Chain A
Amino acid sequence: MSADTSGRARPEPIKAVPVRHPGRWVGVAVIAVLVAMFVHMLVTNSAFQWSFMVDEMFRPPIIEGLRGTILLLITSMVIGIGLGIVIAIMRLSPNPVLRGVAWVYTWFFRAVPRLVLAILFGNLGILWSRLEFGLPFDRQIGALFGLHDFEARLFGFSAVDILTGFVAGMLALGLSEAAYMAEIVRAGIQSVDEGQTEAAQALGMSRAQILRRIVLPQAMRVIIPPTGNETIAMLKDTSLVAFVPVSMELFFQLKAVGSRTFQPFPMYVAATLWYLLLTSVLLVGQYYLERHYSKGFGRSGRARQRLRNLTAESGSTTSGTAQ
């Protein structure tokens, strides 16, 4: 534009020969050959039994198993994230008792493998036939005062009923996840600038309010990507509950079909495809979550702001003031 005012002619656009990248073409060729070989094998190798696999992989028991897997994924991640936040906050609390409890919790559940936890939780019924809540040592205390059969139990239920398969598997996975989530949330909280807390304190907000309104929303940006990884890892770990044992689970069901029909291999391929599909769905969810929590930070936040300004200019009132 300044060229116009100064009267000088605009220089010719650059027409240079671009740098060649012969290496890339070689790479593409090699990859193309490998892919072709792979596809050839998929199509021609009779061990795949594609039509048999497609027939079997959508049958009701498999879909039931799929439902079980998804339910297990959701419940254990809800427990993991919820409890993880609580434990992270305890770890950062000024109260030494809470800090200690949180440390021991993370130490224990990170030390024990999930497979072992799953088996352990599946067998907790051995410890108690009934689960009861009440005064500890009530019989012993009763005996001190000369009372026989003194019991101070508030309520109870049969442990075998509660700790059957699904709940035991859910608890094993969820409690273990909470230990990892606690570390992730703690790192997220600590990544938020100290000045944010100070500014909020100076305004007269309480510790809980600062955490909820100021620190956690900002920590989310740091928390969500690793949480996505945890969710995907959890999806795969749900197959461990076969050891609880839980049968309403995707891999268990596919394997069952495999052994019943003496065709295990196509069912393993079906499992691979199912897990690929579920993981892809999770990745899409993660993308939208990350975008939501990058509000006010970086490019995507800015792009949305431009959009909002445009709508504001075109007559509608400032939508930015809502919420």
Chain B
Amino acid sequence: MTDMTASPQTPAAELMVRAEQVHKSFGPLEVLKGIDLEVRSGEVCCLLGPSGSGKSTFLRCINHLEKIDAGRIWVDGDLIGYRERGGKLYEMRDRDVAAQRRAIGMVFQRFNLFPHMTVLQNVMEAPVLLRQAKKTEAREHAAQLLDRVGLGDKLGAYPGQLSGGQQQRVAIARALAMRPKLMLFDEPTSALDPELVGEVLDTMKDLARDGMTMIVVTHEIGFAREVGDHLVFMDGGVVVEQGDPREVISAPKHERTKAFLAKVL
């Protein structure tokens, strides 16, 4: 009972994310029915599945935007949202949850940039507000990141003046500004016009090449095949099939995976 050292369930060190039997319901609707997932450091994990299968919900559970009903999620060895002491779970205070989220970047389908701030302000807002860096350093870092996503000439623009692809790249830079260990992408390209998808995927490929650990919900099979280290296919709130992306895509074992891939390919 009083033993507070690592329990046998504590995940191995090189695991960035470990989810165990994650359950989540909205009222009577059970959306996640026991998800198990492991993502190693530096790995790109692609999450595939039909609409309503619970992909977004699962992603939001990882940074505790949604509270899970059962199971456990660890990010970099830290239990998310709770503290476990003497075999008992304690809810974390808002402040501690916020601190955990700082290490996890998230990119949304609809960008969610702050429209009242310029591009540069969007990117440096959180690091300055949360005292991660001095203002001058934060500005320098933000300008660097924006340069890296190809928007070095748009620092003073407002989000409303940018194309969707540019906005999404700003959103990526904004998440990176907190120097996260893990990046979550929720269908980052599905709100974009087809000709703008490429520029965002290229940015993400760069990120993957630099060794960022990423979980990407996407319908871009090409991206999963090319960049993904691991592919997870979800349906109806469970993981139906997972493995090497190239194998799963070329030779799906499960009927539901086959049916889904036939539709999107």
A residues contacting B by CB (< 8 A) are: 193, 195-196, 198-207, 209, 213-214, 217-218, 293, 295-298, 301-302, 305, 308-309, 312, 318-321, 323
Is the CB–CB distance between A201 and B98 below 8 Å? yes
B159 at the interface (CB under 8 A from A): yes
Taking CB atoms, residues of chain B closer than 8 Å to A319 are 156
Query: Within 8 Å of chain A (Cβ to Cβ): is B6?
Result: no
Most chain B CB atoms below 10 A, which of A203, A207, A318: A203
| CB 8 Å contact bits of B144-175 with A (1 = contact, 0 = none) | 00000000000111111100000000010011
| Contact in complex: A199, B101 (CB < 8 Å) | no
Give residues in B with beta carbon < 8 Å to A.
Answer: 63, 65, 94-95, 98-102, 104-106, 108, 110, 112-118, 120-121, 125-126, 129-130, 139, 155-161, 171, 174-175, 178
Q: Which residues of B contact A196 (CB under 8 A)?
A: 112, 114
Q: How far is the CA of A198 from the CA of B101 in the complex (A)?
A: 11
Q: With the chains together, A218 CA to B94 CA distance in Å?
A: 23
Question: Is there contact, CB below 8 Å, between B108 and A195?
Answer: yes
CB neighbours of A205 from chain B (8 A): 98, 126, 129-130
A195, B114: Cβ atoms closer than 8 Å: no
B residues within 8 A CB of A312? 156
Interface centre among A202, A213, A308, A319 (most CB of B within 10 A): A202
Say whether, besides A199-B108, A204-B98, A205-B129, A320 and B116 are in contact (CB < 8 Å).
no
Residues of A within 8 A of B125 (CB): 203, 213
Residue contact A204 to B110, C-beta cutoff 8 Å: no
| A163 CA / B159 CA spacing, docked (Å) | 51
Are B174 and A318 closer than 8 Å at their CB atoms? no
CB distance A297 to B130 under 8 Å? Answer: no
Which residues of A have CB within 8 Å of B114?
196, 199-200, 214, 218
The answer on a CB contact under 8 Å between B115 and A296 is: yes
- A321-B98 contact in complex given A198-B112, A297-B116, C-beta closer than 8 Å: no
> Would you call B129 and A209 a contact (CB within 8 A)?
yes
CB pair B156 A318 closer than 8 Å: yes
Kindly list chain A residues whose C-beta atoms are within 8 Å of the C-beta of B113: 199
Contact indicator A321/B139 (Cβ below 8 Å):
yes
CB distance from B220 to the nearest CB of A (A): 22
Closest Cβ neighbor of A295 among chain B residues:
B116
Please tell me if the beta carbons of B158 and A202 are within 8 angstroms of each other in the complex: no
Chain A residues with CB under 8 A of B63: 202
Least distance between A200 CB and chain B CB atoms (Å): 8
Cα–Cα, bound, A203→B174 (Å): 9
How distant is B186 from chain A, measured CB to nearest CB, in Å? Answer: 10
Q: Contact: B115 with A204, CB < 8 Å?
A: no
Q: Give the distance to chain B from A204, nearest Cβ to Cβ, in Å.
A: 3
Shortest A58–chain B CB gap in Å is 43
What is the chain B residue whose CB lies nearest that of A203? Answer: B126
Between B63, B100, B116, B130, the greatest number of chain A beta carbons within 10 A of the residue's beta carbon is seen for: B116
Q: Which residues of A contact B129 (CB under 8 A)?
A: 205, 209, 213
Question: Bound state CA distance, A323 and B159, in angstroms?
Answer: 17
Quote the shortest CB–CB distance from A212 to chain B (angstroms): 9
- Chain B residues with Cβ below 8 Å from A195 are 108, 110, 112
Q: Are A203 and B102 in contact (CB under 8 A)?
A: yes
Complex Cα distance, B156 from A309, in Å, reads: 8
State the Cβ distance, B136 to closest chain A Cβ, in Å.
11
